[in-house]
Amino acid sequence: MKEENFNEKIALPATLSFIAFMVYNLSIKFISSAHGDIFKHIEYAEKMFEGTYKTATPIYYFVWGFFNKVLCIEKNISAAYADVFFSILCAISIYLITRLFLKDSLGEWGRCLVVIFMTFFGPLYFPSFSSNYYLGQGTFNTWHNPTNNSVKFIAISALFLFIYYFNMDENEKIFFRGKNISKRSFLNIIVGLLSFISVFIKPSFFQVFAPTIVIVYLIDWIRTKRNIIFYIKDGVVFIPATLVIFYDVFFLFFSSTRTRGGIEIAPLDVWNYYSPNIIISILITITFPLFTIFLKSSKQQSKNINYIPFIFYIVALLEFALLAEHTGRYSGNFMWGMNLGIGILFLYSIFKFIKYNKEYSTNSKIITRIYIYIFIGYVLLASHFLWGIWYYFQLLVRPMTQCF
């Protein structure tokens, strides 16, 4: 029993140490090539602390500054440490959300396996379709962009906490600072705060989350005919983040003084530049989540909220498909939200698959068809994971390559 408890206790520290090691090595490789996103962000961070560069998203630079200015660590190593820091935050958020949603369905090592999967998975790869792996398809694990990596932990935490509390009873209480308060209201404030912080890291999450919230409210109102005051009270916590996004989009992107001056509607222009066939790109990127749509639980688990991750992904997909920047249009900056959406969709689909597996694995009357479904699910998960690992090592060994 003691040995079993020890094994459980070391699961998370061992997982986080492994992730830190892998992220650090790839970050150092990117930095040593003296080009690409991480190298540019080091330059931006230096200029910000010199007072010659202003940015609306300074949080990554502050973390870099803590290592470089406070701890006096060399600037390139500081960037790698900052990348590791945010990757660990993402891993912890995935672990905690998995624990919240699956409870006893997984043990400690099982939760950690979910964390490792989410850290490395990617789209399926068919070289005959496209020589690009990430470009044109998208992936939660882009590796080369430190600011989108930095906002991943908030994307996971905020979206899934929103799912968790949305249909919660207002009468459910939580003890906080000496008194009982509504658990739903407390979580609502936490999600609003996380959303506000996210826009100072990278707006890619909230620019998708905001319209997702509106759509969820609309669908819920059509279904339940709740009083409109309910949605006003629920949505007021998102006003600060919305105002910041409004300022960023309408006063910065459309400003003639901004180097990337302006957004335009350009349907599929950027996506077609990278993908030979957009439909196939989507299918090979979210193969496993699409498969889980057909898994029907007799308990109809998460019946009322299973559409929210899909709405987030579709909104993100539409932003990437329809919008482009006037200058540097093929940098694909509207793809960052879709990359986050892929991660959210996969994590939800994993939860659904594990619950499905757990439900039928304890059923003595399980039929062959269910075994086949479960087998296919594991094969797809393994395929997404192994191709993601392959992509990681390709980036590690290919000189002067930050993505492809």
- Candidates 120, 21, 25; CA nearest to 389 is 120
Q: Which two tokens stand for residue 105?
A: 């369905």
Q: How does residue 302 score in pLDDT terms, banded at 50, 70 and 90?
A: very low
Residue keyed to tokens 């150092």: 28
pLDDT at 132 over 90: yes
Mean pLDDT value of segment 80-98: 98
Mean pLDDT value of segment 357-364: 73
Q: What pLDDT is recorded for position 315?
A: 98
Q: What pLDDT is recorded for position 393?
A: 97
Three-state SS at 363? coil
Sign of CA dihedral 216, 217, 222, 226: positive
Q: What pLDDT is recorded for position 297?
A: 62
pLDDT at 228 over 90: yes
Q: What pLDDT is recorded for position 305?
A: 54
- Candidates 382, 319, 364; CA nearest to 138 is 319
Of residues 402 and 254, more confidence is placed in 402
Q: What are phi and psi of 125, to 5 degrees?
A: -130, 130
Q: What pLDDT is recorded for position 324?
A: 86
Mean pLDDT value of segment 326-337: 82
Q: What pLDDT is recorded for position 295?
A: 83
Other beta carbons less than 10 A from residue 230's beta carbon: 14
**Of 51-60, 175-184, 244-253, the least confident:** 244-253
Q: How does residue 175 score in pLDDT terms, banded at 50, 70 and 90?
A: confident
DSSP 1-69: -HHHHHHHHHHHHHHHHHHHHHHHHHHHHHHHTT-SHHHHHHHHHHHHHHTS---S--HHHHHHHIIII
Q: How does residue 264 score in pLDDT terms, banded at 50, 70 and 90?
A: confident
Question: Is 123:142 a contact under the CB 8 Å cutoff?
Answer: no
Question: Is 59:86 a contact under the CB 8 Å cutoff?
Answer: no
Mean pLDDT value of segment 56-67: 97
Give the mean pLDDT of the chain: 91
What does the alpha-carbon distance between residue 381 and residue 370 come to, in Å, rounded to a whole number?
Answer: 17
CA separation (Å) from 299 to 166, 197, 296, 356, 368?
20, 37, 9, 9, 20
Residue 143 Ramachandran class (φ > 0 left, ψ -120 to 50 alpha, else beta): left
pLDDT at 343 over 80: yes
The amino acid that residue 197 corresponds to is: I
Q: What is the pLDDT of residues 105-115, one digit of tens each?
A: 899 999 999 99
Instruction: Give the angle subtended at the CA of 250 by the CAs of 331 and 52, to the nearest 5°.
Output: 65
pLDDT at 167 over 90: no
**Of 103-112, 288-297, 335-344, the least confident:** 288-297
Mean pLDDT value of segment 104-129: 96
Question: Is 299:352 a contact under the CB 8 Å cutoff?
Answer: no
Q: Which two tokens stand for residue 295?
A: 């898994």
Q: How does residue 380 score in pLDDT terms, banded at 50, 70 and 90?
A: very high
Q: What pLDDT is recorded for position 304?
A: 47
What does the alpha-carbon distance between residue 392 and residue 403 come to, in Å, rounded to a whole number?
Answer: 10
Q: What are phi and psi of 291, to 5 degrees?
A: -60, -40
Q: What pLDDT is recorded for position 328?
A: 65
Question: Is 139:342 a contact under the CB 8 Å cutoff?
Answer: yes
What does the alpha-carbon distance between residue 223 and residue 220 come to, in Å, rounded to a whole number?
Answer: 5
What does the alpha-carbon distance between residue 323 and residue 169 come to, in Å, rounded to a whole number?
Answer: 39
Range with top average pLDDT, 180-184, 298-302, 377-381:
377-381
The amino acid that residue 214 corresponds to is: V
Question: Is 210:241 a contact under the CB 8 Å cutoff?
Answer: yes
* Percent over 70 (pLDDT), the chain: 91
pLDDT at 20 over 70: yes
Q: What pLDDT is recorded for position 8?
A: 81
**Of 275-284, 311-320, 324-333, 370-379, the least confident:** 324-333
Question: Is 199:241 a contact under the CB 8 Å cutoff?
Answer: yes
pLDDT at 301 over 70: no
DSSP 269-306: HHHHHH-S-HHHHHHHHSHHHHHHTT---TT-TTTTTT
Mean pLDDT value of segment 346-374: 84
